[in-house]
């Protein structure tokens, strides 16, 4: 049952103030408003709805029995990475360095090969028959999973399904049908709301901490569906997979990562929102896996410079860098340079928002995309495909020496036709040299990048690039949009004009 806020009646507040001789301003949860009755000034207390409970004990007493400690055994011979970090993040990546996952093994992370080690995390029951939620990185690649309940009893659990993209996992404990469980919150929390985290930090089990919601919609670089709730409740290694509750005892998120230069809590923790967890868990329970809608495009954010160059009033939406051949978007007529501004009438804030919106829609569903193209708004309908589990990597190599190319001073780049550079194909102009003090370097150009378009026009020689830049400047544009292939990806770069 939700914990109700305690509200002191006006009469009681006045009595306490009179007896104790305290200032009305010291009475918690009440505003004292002066009112005149005849010639006498009388204090009338109006108790406002409390924004926090007087204490958290009643909430904890109800929810703590549903929180479990999760222990896993992993063969370090080939599978330690599942516990050392986010499986989607390579070693020494920015994500790995800055956001330390906290379901790490008890023993040294760099354990000898072919040795079984035990890792610890947290979780919580969501049904009386033993279904429980934890993090994917806690149970991924586990050879055995054991849970310990709040009363000290241990049970063997099996993994029903995992979703690495959101770091959510569903496990099942057999043998009982009366496990205490908790429910997900129906509404997202507000910034400033009180929250309570319960988990298994450092293997201590059943530890309760409290704080507030610090922010929402955080992108921490874990993946395209990042939408984390940031909280300041102290959480540490071992809290992974544990729940964060609101003051009504409902789960508002699942703790998954911390920002920690030292490895311990510094008051910045991240939780997966309850709405995301519910959606993922529902699919894992029904199918053992998660399927997501797929448009088939490479996308990137719309920067103010890009918005200015294509005539958008606001830097919003998702810029299509490259439609995948034979993908849903390409078949529907979406082309590189289009900006997707809405899905079924819902505005798209940025590239990450588009990924979340499309990913939440079932494959096969027909959607309506609103697109900004060359100063006009267009609408396209398409049936979503299914997001592939793995994407084929297309690697091109260029081991041969490249010509020096022709210099373009405005960019600080030396360019050569792609056909003259081994391994670069036949389209576009290859960057053969980058001036470290030039505009191109400032915008991230690297040797080997291929410029495909400038200002919406295809280029095949350094002269084409110069001509396109000069035309854009004559038209009074402050920046020009360049379509660039860099390695395996294609992107747009907005280059400011006016530099010599």
290 class by beta-carbon count within 10 Å (0-12 exposed, 13-18 middle, 19+ buried): buried
Cα distance between residue 412 and residue 434, in whole Å: 6
pTM of the full structure: 0.63
Q: Is 412 inside a domain boundary? A: yes
pLDDT of residue 329: 93
pLDDT at 146: 94
What is the structure's pLDDT at 243? Answer: 96
> What range does the domain containing 318 cover?
293-386
Question: Residue 79: pLDDT band by 50, 70, 90 thresholds?
Answer: very low
Is the Cβ–Cβ distance between 226 and 219 less than 8 Å?
yes
Distance in angstroms between the alpha carbons of the first and the last residue of the chain: 69
pLDDT at 249 over 60: yes
Q: What's the Rg (C-alpha) of the chain?
A: 28
* Res 190 pLDDT > 90: yes
Total domains present in the chain = 4
Q: Is residue 310 part of a domain?
A: yes
pLDDT attached to residue 407: 62
**Residue 401 within any structural domain of the chain:** no
**Distance between CA atoms of residues 286 and 281, nearest Å:** 9
4 domain residue, yes or no: no
Residues in the chain: 500
Name residues whose C-beta falls within 8 Å of residue 65's C-beta, 6 or more positions apart in sequence.
Answer: 149, 150, 151, 180
The dihedrals phi and psi of 283, each to the nearest 5 degrees, come to -70, -40
Residues 208 and 331 in one domain: no
Residue 439 has what pLDDT?
Answer: 77
Q: 3-state DSSP call for residue 308?
A: helix
Say if 373 falls within a structural domain. Answer: yes
Q: Where are the beta strands (DSSP E) in 204-266?
A: 207-218, 228-231, 243-245, 251-259
Domain membership flag for residue 395 = no
Q: Is the pLDDT of residue 494 over 50?
A: yes
Q: End of a domain among 287, 309, 341?
A: 287
Same domain, 359 and 470: no
Strand 385-386 versus strand 293-294 pairing type: antiparallel
- From residue 164, alpha-carbon distances to 95, 141, 371, 389, 429 in Å are 15, 12, 31, 10, 38
pLDDT score for 41: 42
Average pLDDT, the chain: 77
- Please write the tens of the pLDDT for every residue from 378-423: 999 999 998 876 433 222 223 333 344 566 656 778 888 877 776 6
Beta bridge partners of 154: 148
- Residues tagged active-site: 137, 167, 240
70, 260, 266, 93: which is closest to 169 by C-alpha?
Answer: 70
pLDDT of 12 above 70: no
Burial of 374 from C-beta contacts in 10 A (0-12 / 13-18 / 19+): exposed
How does pLDDT run across 289-307, given as a tens digit for each residue? 898 999 998 888 898 989 9
Tell which residue, 257, 492, 190, has the closest CA to residue 351: 492
CATH number at residue 341: 2.30.42.10
At 46, list the tokens.
Answer: 């109006």
Looking at residue 226, what is its pLDDT? 78
Residue with tokens 């709040």: 150
Phi-psi sector, 88: left (phi>0), alpha (psi -120 to 50), beta: alpha
Query: Which residue has better confidence, 254 or 141?
Result: 254
Report helix, strand or coil for 144: strand
**373 DSSP β-pair partners:** 376
Q: Which of 73-82, 105-114, 249-258, 446-455 has the highest mean pLDDT?
A: 249-258
> Both 382 and 447 in a single domain?
no
Examine residue 24 and state whether it is found in any structural domain, yes or no. Answer: yes
For residue 139, give the nearest of 256, 287, 310 by alpha carbon.
256
User: Per-residue pLDDT for 259 more than 90?
Assistant: no
pLDDT of 422: 65
Token representation of residue 470: 């000069």
């Amino acid at each position: 049952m939700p914990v109700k806020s305690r509200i002191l009646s006006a009469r009681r507040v006045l009595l306490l103030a009179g007896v104790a001789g305290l200032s009305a301003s010291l009475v918690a949860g009440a505003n004292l408003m002066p009112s005149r009755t005849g010639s006498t000034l009388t204090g009338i207390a109006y108790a406002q709805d409390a924004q926090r409970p007087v204490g958290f004990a009643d909430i904890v007493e109800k929810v703590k029995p549903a929180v479990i400690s999760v222990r896993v055994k992993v063969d370090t011979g080939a599978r330690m990475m599942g516990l050392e970090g986010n499986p989607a993040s390579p070693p020494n990546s920015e994500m790995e360095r800055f956001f330390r996952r906290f379901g790490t093994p008890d023993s040294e992370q760099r354990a000898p090969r072919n040795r079984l080690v035990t890792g610890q995390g947290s979780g919580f029951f969501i049904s009386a028959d033993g279904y429980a939620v934890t993090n994917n990185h806690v149970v991924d690649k586990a050879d055995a999973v054991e849970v310990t309940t709040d009363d000290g009893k241990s049970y063997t659990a099996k993994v029903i399904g995992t979703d690495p993209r959101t770091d959510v996992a569903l496990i099942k404990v057999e043998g009982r049908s009366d496990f205490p469980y908790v429910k997900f919150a129906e509404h997202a929390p507000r910034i400033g709301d009180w929250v309570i985290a319960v988990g298994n930090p450092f293997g201590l089990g059943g530890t309760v901490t409290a704080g507030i919601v610090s922010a929402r919609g955080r992108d921490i670089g874990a993946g395209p569906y990042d939408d984390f709730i940031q909280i300041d409740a102290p959480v540490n290694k071992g809290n992974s997979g544990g729940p964060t509750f609101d003051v009504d005892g409902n789960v508002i998120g699942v703790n998954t990562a911390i920002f920690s230069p030292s490895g311990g809590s510094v008051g910045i923790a991240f939780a997966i929102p309850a709405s995301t967890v519910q959606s993922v868990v529902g699919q894992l329970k029904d199918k053992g896996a998660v399927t997501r809608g797929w448009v088939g495009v490479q996308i990137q954010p719309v920067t103010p410079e890009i918005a200015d160059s294509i005539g958008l009033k606001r830097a919003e939406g998702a810029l299509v860098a490259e439609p995948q051949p034979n993908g849903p978007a390409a078949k529907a007529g979406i082309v590189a340079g289009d900006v997707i501004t809405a899905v079924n009438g819902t505005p798209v804030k940025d590239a990450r928002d588009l990924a979340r919106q499309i990913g939440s829609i079932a494959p096969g569903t027909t959607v309506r995309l609103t697109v900004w193209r060359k100063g006009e708004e267009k609408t396209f309908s398409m049936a979503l495909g299914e997001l592939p589990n793995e994407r084929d990597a297309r690697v091109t190599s260029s081991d041969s020496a490249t010509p020096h190319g022709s210099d373009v001073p405005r960019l600080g780049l030396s360019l050569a036709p792609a056909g003259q550079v081994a391994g670069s194909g036949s389209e576009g102009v290859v960057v053969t040299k980058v001036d470290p003090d030039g505009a191109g370097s400032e915008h991230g150009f690297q040797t080997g990048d291929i410029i495909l378009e400038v200002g919406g026009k295809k280029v095949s020689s350094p002269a084409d690039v110069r001509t396109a830049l000069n035309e854009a400047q004559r038209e009074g544009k402050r920046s020009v949009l360049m379509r660039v292939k860099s390695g395996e990806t294609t992107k747009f770069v907005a280059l400011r004009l006016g530099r010599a």
